[in-house]
Structure 1
Amino acid sequence: MSADFQHREVITLPARYGKAVRLNRGEAVQVINLYGTQVVDCWAYNAQDISEYMSMEATRVWNQRLNPKVGDSFITSQRHPILTLVADTSPGVHDTFMAACDARRYELLGCKTFHRNCHDNLFEGMRELGVELPHGNLASFNIFMNIQVQPDGITLKTLPVVTRPGDYIVLRAEMDCFVVFSACPQDIVSIQGQGDNTPRDAELRILTAGFPAVPLKGAWVPD
C-alpha cells in the first residue's frame, strides 16, 4: 500500500512543467496522477555517465513487450537496466511509442507563439540539478498515455488517459540515475483525460523503503 512507502521527499510536478530527481540505486520514485487525467513523460540517465540514457527501443527488445508491466525493466542505450516498474495501481495503460512533444510539434499543430513542451521541460529539469544534457531525446516513456494498437496490427490510435485520481506507478532505480518527468503541456491533441484536455499537476515521491521487492529479470532470449 502507498501508505507503507517510506519517502524522503515529496515534489509537486506542476502542470506544463518538468522536474528532475536524482535517485540512488535501490531507491524508487512514485509518480501519482493526482487528478487521474495527466500524461507524464519520463526519461532517465546514468548519473555517472549521462551519455547513457533510458532507451525505449532497447526496452522493448529486452521485455518483448510494447508497453511495460510490473516486473519489467527499462533498459539503457548500453543495454543495462536503469529502472524497474515495481508497482502500478493504474489500469496499466502507458506508451513507449510516441515522441515527446517539442516546439516544432506545436508549430505543426498551428501554434504561432511558443508553447510549453515536454522536450524543453527535459532540459529545464536537468538544468535545475546543474546538469546540461549533450543532446535531446524525443523517445520518452509516456506514463499513463493511452495509445492503442488497432486490429490491423500496424495503426495507432491516440486516446485520452484512463487513470483515476490517485493512481500511481513506482519505478525502482537499478543504478544511480537522474530521472526526469514532464507534466505534459499538450492541450491541442486530446490525450489528457475527462474531455477538457487541461494539463494538471502530478506528484512525485522519492521512496527509500516499503515498496514491493520485485526481482530484477534478465534480458529475453529465444527458447
Structure 2
Amino acid sequence: MASPTVPAPWCGRDFKPRSFDKHTPVVCYDKPRASVVSHKEYDDKRFLAITGETVQTLVVPKREARTWTMQEGDLCRITVHEGSQVGDLNFWNLENTQERFYSGKTRQLHSSHLKMYDRLWSCLPHLRPMATFVFDSLANYGIDEDGASLHDVIGTRCDDYTYKLITGQDRVGSCHSSLVKAVAEERGLTEQDVHDVWNIFMCTGFTKDTQQYFCKPSPARKGDFIEFVADMNLLVALSACPQGDVSIPVGAEVPDEKCHPLKVEVFRKK
C-alpha cells in the first residue's frame, strides 16, 4: 500500500508568509595587505618595461588560442587588433603549472570585474599574486545602468560541453577547446590543465529580476588595450573567443565577421 502524500509545510492552510530582518551589507573579505599595491610602484614597473625592449609580439587568430611566457616584471599588452573582440586568459606558474590562476578567490579579494591595480591570484595552497592589472583604455566604462562592467572573473569560459547541453549538438569550437589545443600543442599540457579564466573586454553582469549572468556587446574597439605586470614567471594562454564581441548568446550561430584577432606584446626592462 502506498504511503500517503504528506504536503510540504508551506502548503498548509495556516501558512503565513515569513518576514525577514533587514541588514546592511557587509563585505565578506577585508582586503589583505598583499592585495593593495602601490600605484607608483606599479606605474614605475610599467614605465620601465615599456621603455625597455619588446621581447615578444604575436597575434592570436580569431576563433583560436595561443600561449606565451613572461618573466617576473615583464609587462603584457593585449590589444583589440582589428575589431571588437573579447578574450579568455589562463595563467600558470611557469616553473610549476599546478599553481594556476584562481578566478574565484580573485573575485572574493577584489571584485567581480577587475579594475586597474587589482591582482590575479593563484590557487590554493599557494594563494599569491600572479600578475597585477596596470592599465585599461576602457577604465572609464565603470558600472552601467544595468550593473554591467568589464573584464569579469565570473564566467568560466565558453565550452562545447555546455553548448551540447543547450543545443543537443556536438561541436568543437569554443574558448575551452581552443585553449586545450594551444596548451597541448605548444606546451605539452592537457585538458585538465585548462581552468577558469579572466574574461577581458567582456561586458557582463547579473539581471536584477532573475540574477542570471548576462552579456552585452563589448564596447572595445580597434586600438583598445589592457596591460598587466607579471608578479612571477608565467605561462599565459589567450583565446580569441569564437563568440566575437559576445553580442550573440551561446547556442546561436555567430557570423565569422563578428570575430577578430587579438594582438599580444610583451615588454621587458633593460
TM-score when scaled to structure 1?
0.81
Offset of residue 176 of structure 1: 0.7
Superposed CA deviations along residues 37-65 of structure 1, whole A, max 9, x for unmatched, are: 101000100111111110111112222x1
Secondary structure of the structure 2 residue equivalent to 1:58:
helix
Q: Mind listing any 5+ residue stretches in structure 2 that lack a counterpart?
A: 1-46, 142-149
Match of 1:88 among 113, 129, 136: 136
Q: Which has the higher helix share?
A: 2
Native 8 Å contact 1:47 1:177 kept in 2: yes
Which deviates the most, 73-82 or 114-123? 114-123
CA distance in 2, matches of 1:201, 1:7: 20
Native 8 Å contact 2:90 2:195 kept in 1: no
Which structure has the larger Rg over C-alpha atoms?
2
Alignment of 1:6-45 (within 5 A): 6-45=53-92
Which deviates the most, 95-104 or 181-190? 181-190
1:70 equivalent in alignment to 2:116: yes
Partner of 1:213: none
Native 8 Å contact 2:67 2:237 kept in 1: yes
Offset of residue 14 of structure 1: 0.2
Partner of 2:24: none
CA distance in 2, matches of 1:161, 1:5: 31
Partner of 1:139: 196
Superposed CA deviations along residues 114-167 of structure 1, whole A, max 9, x for unmatched, are: 331111222222234333147144521110111123445944322110112110
Residue identity in the other structure for 2:262: A
Q: Which has the higher strand share?
A: 1
Secondary structure of the structure 1 residue equivalent to 2:173:
coil
CA distance in 2, matches of 1:173, 1:35: 26
Offset of residue 186 of structure 1: 2.0
Match of 2:268 among 180, 190, 208: 208
CA RMSD after TM alignment: 2.9
Number of equivalent positions:
207
CA distance in 2, matches of 1:188, 1:71: 25
Offset of residue 113 of structure 1: 4.7
Native 8 Å contact 1:20 1:180 kept in 2: yes
Native 8 Å contact 1:36 1:167 kept in 2: no
Secondary structure of the structure 1 residue equivalent to 2:220:
coil
Partner of 2:34: none
Higher relative contact order (CA 8 A, sep 6+): 1
Partner of 1:218: none
Secondary structure of the structure 1 residue equivalent to 2:235:
strand
CA distance in 2, matches of 1:131, 1:20: 11
- Structure-2 change in CA distance of 1:86 and 1:99 (3 Å): same
Q: Mind listing any 5+ residue stretches in structure 1 that lack a counterpart?
A: 211-223
- Structure-2 change in CA distance of 1:90 and 1:69 (3 Å): same
1:158 equivalent in alignment to 2:215: yes
Match of 2:186 among 107, 129, 144: 129
Q: Among the aligned pairs, what percent are the same residue?
A: 23
TM-score when scaled to structure 2?
0.68
1:114 equivalent in alignment to 2:162: no
1:55 equivalent in alignment to 2:112: no
